[in-house]
Amino acid sequence: MSPVNPTQRTLPFSSLLKSIPDESHEKTFAMLHTEITEFIKNGIGKKIASTSRSLWTLKHSAEFLSLATMVARPGADGNWEKLLGSRPYRCALLTGVVMMLLEKHVFSDLLFGAGEEQAEVLRMEDSSMVNVEGFRRSALRADTNRVYLEATGGIPPLFWKRVDSITAQITELLTPLSAAVGGEIASPSPYQALHDIVALAGWLNIAMRLSPKITTFEWVQPGEAYRHSFVSVGEDKQTNTASSEARRVRARVMISTTPKITRHVRSSKGFFGGTETYDVMKPLVFTYTGRFRDWEDSVGVSSLQGHVRSRLLSSPIPLLPLLVNAVRLLALACLVGVFGLVVFGAWSCVPGAYREMMLLPIRLSFRGLKWWLGVIVRHGEVNTRYSMVNTGWSWTG
């Protein structure tokens, strides 16, 4: 359930039944990227982290940590902390995370917002034609979706329900970080901005699924050597001077902010058939200066999971509370032991008929000791285990 009631963004659904040129897709994806960037910069990426605690050890979901490793890695210094602690890195990383979330949970749908029956028809149709040539399969899917949307008035029946659900789930995914650095992602204005972003992505999905053209998303892998076909949006200036002088170096990808998005269509020019492509979006990346060879560059860089474990293990342990609780437990155990011996001595001198009554205080004493031990464990335990928190919701809810 969303914390606010966002308004539904005005989108040109009526234009979807017409052929949308590649240039319009390019402009709309550029608009989507701009809105995501502004959403991050004006929210979670607006403030410098003031906490001394590692931002990677917050109660992030497993999906957030997984996505972070897919779009980012530390530079030559191997410092994971700066990727969330520094504003420019945090903005680039979270933009990549949101873009990848939209690709996984919006753009990958065969028709975003379709009813359950239509979604099942599309799945069965796509599965049954797995060996059919891609353009034929895409064209047939487009025809099926077009007929379906003509019957539903141009808008999939579950479109806004899906937008509400995914917006709430992205908000929950980013809440641990927004609570630590500020940004109030769940407040009305940021939530409305995110709701508009998801709605625009859903509209783009329908535009793609009504076209016989095939749209592909290709992500640049963190650590990959920089190419001229990439667009650099920033550079990590911190390099190892000694290493740079002793070895050949090259620019490498530290954060992959957007994927390469390409539209493919069957070519009918000339006597021979082929494929024409149109680059809708070039991959935007944040770079660092790394070593020339791939294996050399990866040496000494810990995984995100390993980094989180090391940060948890190196976090300061509150020794004083533990010592106080231990003294309390020891004193309580001594009192219970002395009291038990006194009662046991008296119990041995009493007739058998009254012995059951004499055992009652001992039982109550041990129950009290068990309860107090539970209180100490709950409030004095130091958790050094690394775990990924499952938020318990589904992206298809």
Sign of CA dihedral 268, 272, 273, 277: negative
Mean pLDDT of 134-161: 91
**What is the rounded CA–CA span in Å between residue 188 and residue 190?**
6
**Residue 341 · residue 361 · CB < 8 Å:** no
CA 378 to chain CA mean position, Å: 29
Residue among 145, 278, 150 nearest 210 (CA): 145
Res 1: pLDDT: 45
Task: State the Rg of the chain over Cα.
Answer: 29
Rounded Cα gap, residues 65 and 69, in angstroms: 6
Note whether 65 and 117 are same-domain residues: yes
Q: Is residue 223 within 8 Å of residue 294, measured between CB atoms?
A: yes
pLDDT tens string 171-188? 999 999 988 887 677 788
**For residue 33, pLDDT beyond 80:** yes
Residue % of the chain over a pLDDT of 90: 44
Pick the more confident residue, 326 or 282: 282
**Claim to verify: residue 234 and residue 374 sit in the same structural domain:** no
- 186-205 confidence digits (pLDDT tens): 788 999 999 999 999 999 99
Residues 333 and 204 in one domain: no
Lowest mean pLDDT among 22-31, 50-59, 90-99, 226-235: 50-59
CA distances from 139 to 94, 127, 306 (A): 35, 15, 46
Distance, in Å, from the CA atom of 351 to the CA atom of 341, rounded to the nearest integer, reads 18
- Among 313, 333, 348, the domain-final residue is 313
In a domain, 389, yes or no: no
Q: What would the two tokens of residue 213 be?
A: 């053209």
Asked whether residue 273 is assigned to any structural domain, the reply reads: yes
- Name the amino acid, one letter, at 114: A
Element (H, E) at 274: strand 274-281
- Residues spanned by the domain of 197: 13-313
Distance between CA 255 and CA 397 in Å, rounded? 30
pLDDT at 353: 58
List the single range of 56-65, 137-146, 304-313, 375-384 with lowest mean pLDDT.
Answer: 375-384
- For 115-125, the pLDDT digits (tens) are 999 999 999 88
Residue 371 within any structural domain of the chain: yes
Beta strand 214-218 pairing with 260-267: antiparallel
Number of independent structural domains in the chain? 2
Number of other CB atoms surrounding residue 140 within 10 Å? 15
What pTM does this model have?
0.76
Instruction: Name the pLDDT band for 317 (thresholds 50, 70, 90).
Output: very low
Residue 385 within a domain: no
Res. 354 pLDDT band, cuts 50 70 90: low
Mean pLDDT of 362-385: 56
Handedness of CA 22, 24, 27, 30 (dihedral sign): negative
Residues 301 and 345 placed together within one structural domain of the fold: no
Q: Which burial class, exposed, middle or buried, applies to 387 when counting CB atoms under 10 A from its CB (0-12, 13-18, 19+)?
A: exposed
Least confident of 145-149, 270-274, 383-387: 383-387
pLDDT digits (tens, 9 = 90+) for 42-74: 989 887 776 678 888 888 899 999 999 999 999
Is the model's pLDDT at 352 over the cut of 50?
yes
218 and 324 belong to one structural domain: no
Looking at the fold, whether 301 and 360 belong to one and the same domain comes out as: no
